[in-house]
Amino acid sequence: MSETSNELILVGVIQKPYGLLGEIKVKPETFDFDRHKQLKQVYCRKRHGEEVETLAVRATRADDRYWYLKFEDIKTPEAAAHLSGMELCVGPEEKLELPKGMVYFSDLPGMKAIDEKGEEVGTVLEVMETGVQEFLLLKTSHGEIPVPWNDQYVKKIDVETKIVELDLSMLRGILF
C-alpha cells in the first residue's frame, strides 16, 4: 500500500533507539494507549515531511508512559537511529472513532475560525505543539496568530461544518 504523508494518522513520536536489539522508544500520541498491540505495519515520517518509510512491526510492548517497538528489518540500535524524532503513523483505514469531545489534529487545518462576535477571522493552518501547550496557528488578515488551545479561547470545534469557534477578546490589542 502506498500512502501519502497527509493521509496518515499520527499515533506516536519516536524518541530514540532503546536497548541493543534495534527496539525504539515511542511517545504515544493517541487516546488509546493500548493501540500499540494492534500495530502490524507503520509509517515513519519527519515532522510535516513528505517522505514516508514503511516498516513491519515484529514485536511491541509498553511501560507506564512509552511504547517499545521492534521492526522486521531493524536489528541494531545503529539501524534504528535514523528514526529518532520521526512521527509514527498508521494508514487512514486504521483511524479510530474518537470519544465525544475529541478531535484529530489532522482534521483542523483548513477549518474556518469564527470569533466570539460570529465573524470569520481566518483559517486554521496547523496545531503547534510546544511541549507545554498546544496552539492553533491561524492565518488571518493580520498575519499568522497563535491561539492557545484551551477552554478560555477555543469554545467549540465542529468537524462536520469545519468551523472552530474562538473567544479572541483577550488577545485583541495584544496579537492583532
Residue 47 lies in domain: 5-93
Q: Label residue 19 by pLDDT band (50, 70, 90).
A: very high
| pLDDT over 80 (residue 47) | no
pLDDT tens digits, residue range 51-78? 899 999 999 999 999 999 999 999 999 9
For residue 40, tell me if it sits in a domain: yes
Number of domains in the chain: 2
Whether residue 115 is found in the same domain as residue 87: no
- 12 & 58 share domain: yes
pLDDT band at 48, cuts 50/70/90?
Answer: low
Are residues 41 and 111 both part of a single domain? no
Same domain, 14 and 73: yes
* 56 shares its domain with 122: no
Residues 75 and 113 in one domain: no
Contact (Cβ atoms closer than 8 angstroms) between residue 43 and residue 52? yes
Q: How far apart are CA 143 and CA 7, in angstroms?
A: 27
pLDDT for 171 equals: 86
Model pTM score: 0.70
Is 49 part of any domain? yes
CATH number for the domain harbouring residue 141: 2.30.30.240
